[in-house]
Amino acid sequence: MQTSAAAKSSERVAKFADMFSAMGTEPRLRIMQLLLSAHPEGLVVGDIQGELEIPNSTLSHHLEKLKTEGLVEIQRQGTFLRYTANTHALQELLQFLYAECCTRNKAVKPEQIVRICK
């Protein structure tokens, strides 16, 4: 029987695994990259489709998967849907990785990550 803390930790890891899985295809990772480059305004579906040249039905499937895992947020603007990257969810995901690789066991030096991001 798992303790409450262990169960909560397992749920958190499962949540992050689902988020990584959702971004685990090239089109979805490209969508996330595009939405992050357009942050905070985001993009309407037509702009995403035009930029990435993904067929509409396929794009809808990818956006739905990203939405289901909480990685994107949607705002209706008249007849358009505007998608934005959920930066809060991405921050949690990166903090999870950072805690393991850079603070607890120092597998990666924090200054290396900052240098990569610049």
- Residues 93-103 have pLDDT tens digits of 988 888 766 66
As for how many domains the chain has, the answer is 1
- Residues 10-61 have pLDDT tens digits of 898 999 999 999 999 999 999 999 999 999 999 999 999 999 999 999 999 9
Which pTM does this prediction carry? 0.83
Using a CB cutoff of 8 Å and minimum separation of 24, what contacts does 63-71 make? 63/31, 65/22, 65/28, 66/22, 66/23, 66/28, 66/31, 66/32, 68/22, 69/18, 69/19, 69/21, 69/22, 70/19, 71/19, 71/22, 71/23, 71/32
Q: Print the domain residue range for 17.
A: 4-117
5 pLDDT higher than 90 = no
Q: Report pLDDT for 44.
A: 96
Do 74 and 83 touch, CB atoms closer than 8 A? yes
Q: Give the mean model confidence (pLDDT) for residues 55-68.
A: 96
CATH of the domain at 108: 1.10.10.10
